[in-house]
Amino acid sequence: MSQVFTPNSELQHLAGQPIAEIATTLTINGVERQLVIEPWTTLLDLLRDKLDLIGTKKGCDHGQCGACTVLIDGTRVNACLKLAVTLDGCEITTIEGLGQDGNLHPLQAAFIEHDAFQCGYCTPGQICSAQGLINEGRARTRLEVREQMSGNICRCGAYTNIADAVLEVLESMERA
Amino acid sequence: MNAPQKVGIGTPLSRVDGVAKVTGTAKYAAEYRVPDMLYGVTVVSAIAKGRIVTLNEEAARAVPGVIDIISHLNRPKHAWFNRSWKDELKIPGEPFKAFHDDRIQFAAQPIAVVVAKTFEAARFAATLVDVKYETEPHNIDFETSLAEKFMPGVGHRRNTYHPPKDHGDAERAFGEAPLQHAAEYHLAVEHQMQMEMHASTVHWHGDGTVTIYDKVQGSQTSKELVASAFGLGEKNVRVVNAFVGGGFGGALRPQWQLHVATMAAIHLQRSVRVVMTRSQMFSHAHRPECTYQIRLGAAADGKLVAVLGDATTSTSRFESNMEDIVTWGMMNYACSNIQGSYAIAPRDTYTSADMRAPGAATGMTLFEIAIDELAYKAGADPLAFRLLNYSDIDNMNRKPFTSKALREACHEGAERFGWAKRSPEPRSMKEGRELIGWGVATGLWEANFMKTSASAKLSADGHLEVASAASDIGTGTYTVMVQVAADTLGLLPESITARLGDSDLPTAPVEGGSWGAASTGAAVQLACQTIAKKLLKAAGGVEGRPFHDVSSIDELEFAGGYMIRRGDPTRRVGLLDAMRAGGLDVIEAQETASPGIGGMISLATKARNTHSAVFVEARVDEELDQVRITRVVIAVAAGRIINPKTARSQILGGVVMGIGMALHEETAPDKTLGKWINHSFGEYHVPAHADIEDIEVIFVDEPDPEVTPLGVKGLGEIGIVSVAAAVVNAIYHATGKRVRSLPVTVDKLLAV
């Protein structure tokens, strides 16, 4: 039996078309960058492939795992679901912008202390998501933290330690 | 003078690679910047079985930025003979060779790679490749495949397979037993779904050598494959896997993205990166589906008199993957009449593979549901029933254990959980709308040890580097290496660097089977002991010769940067002072730890296993049958614990994956299309934050100098074994509903 599969036949006529480039200004980790970006480039691929900010991870490319979570103007977003050219003028914070070796963000320090990761691949996304959760200001209890962190999958199963780390930072902020 | 405090084995040191991981500087396979690199996106088959008739690349090649398309039509030469496709796991059969020819053997099989200057161009062009197939009838339905089940002959079996050993007359004993239980149990296909997608970045240096950053659980297994199957030669290939974003068995074998990336690089004589999509991650390794018929007989007093098990697991048509399924139940309980059989059933998928605790996570888990059922039939408390049938020896192999603190695990776990307050009757505990159930199960896994080499290098500035081609897939190998070195030479962790994940380093096996800490740890200890011996020799030149009567490092203690005469702490020499006295700028050593060293008992005389007791509280909505796992206590007997912090995490991870096995994880076949239908994180459900509530881990004291040189048994796998059984047993206790097919989804509960 013979079969033909053409997954994208309706787009065949676009094959030879040149790809436009669009001037876009992004402020990434406090540094303003004038970029020329193809419109089909996601924020995730821009960060990883073009800017070598590999701390933001690709775990599914479908907005289903949370590994690529970054902060856009303080709000947590899956970078794989955003086309970079749509973010002109936005401020983007990635894990590299939250803290560095010798100058760790409290969440980064708490993640180490509570062993809130194993393989480390979902970790930058978990930490950025936790910062987003703190910015939202809606989580107070462990139950709320667990519920509101549920967009970030950790296959190593560090969930209870992640909740401990996030709660510790939340509580220390409330005390301060 | 007191001996300085030691920071070594047994301390809860935070991961030494922690800063790299939380700051995003740890580099995984797809994250190495390589000059002039091209991006490859793989086209996979839309059919499950047949042949490629034509591959029309015209539109795809027209996309600006596309450099080339490589398929079976134009690929570089690769080895014809199966034996050249090296793989440490040695699964019998014909290994899958990407782009080998026009044959399609499974759905989403890689058939071509589009290579372009940008990822986006390659991704778009890959969707434009027109493929015409000739289809052949396929089957991916497990039930249907059972008609073709078989047992591979001797010489065609996996070398890890242990055939069941029968004793007594189990059929007769079962037939005559006053208490009988017989039922069929089932486990769905699961996928490892490690967070990092498989990737290979091939750095083509242009001088005949390549460096490959690969997602794999062992750099040297990928190196062997590439060097041999693609004719690059041993000395020209280096594979790096310094950070691995999860494995769980899914990356034990070099995967097809390595074939694809290597062929593209050879064809183009350029650096190429190939990353699987999440959907493509479902095209390869997965835990086999399993059906397991269990028959148990007990005397009126509840003592087991018969254990019978017959199991079949799924494999592909081209390789025979095998697991130990029925043996665990035959080993675990005291019973004189035991009998088991096993077979594999081929279907048109990729070959099933090891996934966390392969065999035991399936066989022991399903068996522990059956034992629970028999306990209820006997009118016994499920924990008391297990202790009544406790075996102090490996009941199948009739060998004593090097150690087995399962009884202690049961008692300590029960105490922490509050088991004594359990109301025995099913459906007798309730709070609000939720029925509450408490379930228990016991787990069993192997304490493995593999030949491993490591090197150590002490510099005159006091820095120690230890290295091995081991991997750290999240297990904590970096940290364990540092701790063992710190312990052996009495140095602070801050002055020690561990290197791993590089095929150029001393030989180590793939990371799996829970052998990493015991084996790599022993190799590091040996290398550091050789350094210690050289230091002792060098100390002979120290003024006053404080060690003139010391003939062996056993007479010394190493702590705080000193070697100290045991029993006389005033006689001490700084390590660096010894080096100076000996005129040494650097001391180096390389050693190999092989099974049998350091008082280890051979497998022939004693059984070496880890054990666990898992207690679970399930809350089930009375009307909706929705299940929450509100509390887990797991008590683990696994010998010596090198790092209580990372050890606890390993067990937590196993428990979470066990909850996934119990309630969520199931890869569903579309029998008509011949493919896994829920190939995304959106539809293949793994536990999320909201699913995981309270988990408590207890390590039971279990000194065991015989099992491995460090007394370590390994923890990567025991954490998952039987967790799903404890969940199922808790759900039964809550609801009175017994589900024998995992995962226990709401529809199955509603149907009881």
If asked whether residues B435 and B460 sit together in one domain, one would say no
State residue B603's pLDDT score. 76
The verdict on residue B502 lying in a domain is: yes
| Residue B266 clears pLDDT 80, i.e. is over it | yes
Residues 62-81, chain B, touching A (beta carbon < 8 A): 62-65
Per-residue pLDDT band at B7 (split at 50, 70, 90): confident
Q: Would you state the pLDDT for residue A32?
A: 98
CB contact under 8 A, A15 and B63: yes
Rg (CA), chain B: 27
Question: Can you give the pLDDT at residue B1?
Answer: 47
The Cα B703–Cα B392 span in angstroms is: 16
Which of B132, B628, B689 would best serve as a mutation to test chain A binding (most A beta carbons within 10 A)?
B689
CB pairs under 8 A between A and B: 233
Residue B576 tokens, joined: 């660096």
Same fold, A20-98 and A106-175: no
- Domain span at residue B489 reads 18-22+450-593
> Residue A15's pLDDT is what?
86
Number of alpha helices (DSSP H) and beta strands (DSSP E) in chain A: 6, 6
**Domain total of chain B:** 3
Contacts of A127 in chain B (CB under 8 A): 22
Inform me whether the C-beta atom of residue B684 falls under 8 Å from chain A C-beta atoms. Answer: no
CA–chain centroid gap for B488, Å, is 28
Residue-level pLDDT at B288:
98
ipTM: 0.97
Q: Which of residues 188-227 of B touch A (CB under 8 A)?
A: 193-197
Are the beta carbons of B278 and A62 separated by less than 8 Å? yes
Q: Which residues of A touch B132 (CB under 8 A)?
A: 2-4
Residue B730 contacts residue B437 (beta carbons within 8 Å): yes
* pLDDT tens, residue order, chain A (176 aa): 566 665 666 788 888 888 899 999 999 999 999 999 999 999 999 999 999 999 999 999 999 999 999 999 999 999 999 999 999 999 999 999 999 999 999 999 999 999 999 999 999 999 999 999 999 999 999 999 999 999 999 999 999 999 999 999 999 988 88
Q: Are B241 and B99 in the same domain?
A: yes
Q: Among residues 238-267 of chain B, which lie with CB inside 8 Å of chain A?
A: 243-248
Q: Is residue B272 assigned to a domain?
A: yes
Percent of chain B with pLDDT over 70: 99
B680 touches chain A (CB under 8 A): yes
Indicate whether B324 belongs to any domain: yes
Return left, alpha or beta for A42; rule: phi > 0 is left, psi -120 to 50 is alpha, else beta: beta
Contact flag B654-A157 (C-beta cutoff 8 Å): yes
From B444, B289, B293, B296, select the one nearest B360 (Cα to Cα).
B444
H or E stretch including B556?
strand B556-559
User: Would you call B46 and A55 a contact, using CB atoms and an 8 Å cutoff?
Assistant: no
CA angle centred on B369, ends B365 and B374, rounded to 5°: 140
Least CA distance to B686: which residue of chain A?
A155
Summarize the confidence of residues B612-631 as an average pLDDT.
98
Mutate to test the interface with B, among A37, A155, A162, A164 (most CBs of B within 10 A): A155
> Is B134 near chain A, with CB under 8 Å?
yes
Q: How many CA atoms lie within 13 A of B272 on its CB side?
A: 28
Domain A106-175 has CATH 3.30.70.120: no
Whether the per-residue pLDDT at B55 is higher than 90: the answer is yes
**Which of B401, B383, B397, B366 shows the shortest CA–CA distance to B296?**
B366
CB contact under 8 A, B688 and A157: no
Can you give the residue ranges of every domain in chain A? 20-98, 106-175
| pLDDT greater than 70 at residue B3 | no
Residue B745 is predicted with a pLDDT of 97
Chain A contact for B644, CB < 8 A? no
In DSSP terms, B319 is beta-bridged to B93
- B120 has a chain A CB within 8 A of its CB: yes
What separation in angstroms does the CA of B44 have from each of B71, B380, B663, B669?
A: 11, 54, 31, 17
CA distances from B103 to A175, B52, B75, B97 (A): 65, 7, 15, 11
Residue type, B731: I
CATH code, domain carrying B103: 3.90.1170.50
Find the mean pLDDT for residues B396-422.
98
- Residues in A touching B653 (Cβ below 8 Å): 118, 156-158
- Residue A123 has its nearest CB partner, among B22, B33, B693, at B22
B131/A57 touch (CB, cutoff 8 Å), yes or no:
no
Cite the beta strand spans of B595-715 per DSSP E.
609-621, 627-637, 669-670, 675-676, 694-699
Annotated catalytic residue, options B190, B196, B412, B717: B717
Cβ atoms of residues B365 and B724 within 8 Å: yes
Which residues does chain B have within 8 Å of residue A113's beta carbon, measured at their own beta carbons?
14
Q: Mark yes or no for CB contact B23/A55 under 8 Å.
A: yes
Shortest Cα–Cα distance, A30 to chain B (Å): 16
Whether chain A has a CB inside 8 Å of the CB on B687: the answer is yes
- Cα dihedral B157→B159→B161→B163 (10° resolution): 70
Active site residue B717: yes
Name the residue in chain A with its Cα closest to that of B682: A64
Question: Do B653 and B522 reside in the same domain of the chain?
Answer: no
**Mutation test of the interface with chain B: which of A45, A94, A118, choosing the one with the most B Cβ atoms within 10 A?**
A118
User: Hey, which residues does A175 pair with through a beta bridge?
Assistant: none
Per-residue pLDDT tens for B103-144? 999 999 999 999 999 999 999 999 999 999 999 999 999 999
B102 reaches A (C-beta below 8 A): no
Q: Is residue B144 part of a domain?
A: no
Tokens representing B38 are: 């091209």
B 295-354 residues inside an 8 A Cβ radius of A: none
| One-letter amino acid for residue B443 of the chain | G
Quickly list H helices, B334-454.
360-377, 382-388, 406-417
Of A6, A111, A153, the CB nearest to B22: A111
User: Residue B698 falls within a domain, yes or no?
Assistant: yes
Q: How far apart are CA B449 and CA B155, in angstroms?
A: 24
Nearest to B220 by CA among B470, B429, B444, B390: B470
Q: Taking CA atoms, what residue in B is nearest to A126?
A: B22
Q: Is residue B153 part of a domain?
A: no
Peptide bond into B743 cis (omega under 30): yes
Residues B578 and B652 in one domain: no
Residue B148 lies in a domain: no
Whole-number Cα distances in Å, B61 to A9, B98, B119: 14, 21, 14
> Which of A115, A126, A164 to mutate to test binding with chain B, by most B CBs within 10 Å of its CB?
A115
Within a domain: residue B717? yes
Q: What mean pLDDT comes out for the span B718-737?
A: 98
User: If pLDDT is split at 50, 70 and 90, which confidence band does B255 have?
Assistant: very high
Residue B258 and residue B281: Cα distance in Å, rounded? 13
Which CATH number is correct for A20-98, 3.30.200.20, 3.10.20.30, 3.30.70.980, 3.40.640.10?
Answer: 3.10.20.30
User: What are the CA-CA distances from residue B109 to residues B104, B116, B348, B442, B667 (Å)?
Assistant: 7, 21, 11, 39, 17
Question: In what helix (H) or strand (E) does residue B50 lie, and over which residues does it extend?
Answer: strand B50-56
> Cβ(A59)–Cβ(A67) under 8 Å?
yes
Taking contacts as CB-CB distances below 8 angstroms, the residues of chain A near B127 are 7-8, 11
- The answer to whether residues B630 and B681 belong to one domain is yes
Which residue from B325, B324, B344 is spatially nearest to B156, judged by alpha carbons? Answer: B344
CATH number for the domain including B538? Answer: 3.30.365.10
Task: Give the phi and the psi of residue B122 in degrees, each rounded to 5.
Answer: -65, -40
B586 CA to centre of own chain: 37
Confidence (pLDDT) at B501: 98
Question: Do the beta carbons of residue B527 and residue B455 sit within 8 Å?
Answer: yes
H/E segment holding residue A171? helix A159-175
The 10 Å Cβ neighbour count of residue A35 is 18
- Residue B522 scores a pLDDT above 80: yes
> Average pLDDT for residues B249-257, to the nearest whole number?
97
With a CB cutoff of 8 Å and minimum separation 6, the contacts of B221 are: B86, B87, B88, B89, B252, B253, B254, B510
Q: Please write the tens of the pLDDT for every residue from B343-352.
A: 999 999 999 9
Of A53, A22, A52, the C-alpha closest to A40 is: A22
At B424, phi and psi to the nearest 5?
Answer: -65, -35
Give B588's strand partners: B457
B290 and B274 assigned to the same domain: no
Mean pLDDT, residues B286-314: 98
Measured between CB atoms, which of B26, B53, B653 is closest to A156? B653
Interchain proximity B245–A120, CB inside 8 Å: yes
- Examine the domain organization and report whether B344 and B269 are in the same domain: no
Is A157 within 8 Å of B30 when comparing Cβ atoms? no
- Same domain? For B430 and B464 the reply is no
At which of B566, B593, B620 does a domain end?
B593
Q: Which residue of B has its CA nearest to A144?
A: B690
Higher pLDDT, B86 or B237: B237
B248 min Cα distance to partner chain A (Å): 9
What are the tens digits of pLDDT across the range B637-687?
999 999 999 999 999 999 999 999 999 999 999 999 999 999 999 999 999
B473 shares its domain with B511 = yes
When CB atoms are compared, the residue of A4, A59, A120 closest to B21 is: A120
CA dihedral angle for residue A58, residue A60, residue A65, residue A70, rounded to 10 degrees:
30
Q: What residues of chain B lie within 8 A of the CB of A57, using their CB?
A: 28, 195-196, 245
pLDDT digits (tens, 9 = 90+) for B456-512: 999 999 999 999 999 999 999 999 999 999 999 999 999 999 999 999 999 999 999
pLDDT (tens digit, 9 = 90+) per residue, B530-560?
Answer: 999 999 999 999 999 999 999 999 999 999 9
Q: State the pLDDT at residue A13.
A: 83
User: Residues B293, B212: one domain?
Assistant: no
Question: Is the domain of B530 the same as that of B563?
Answer: yes
Chain A contact present for B116, CB below 8 A: no
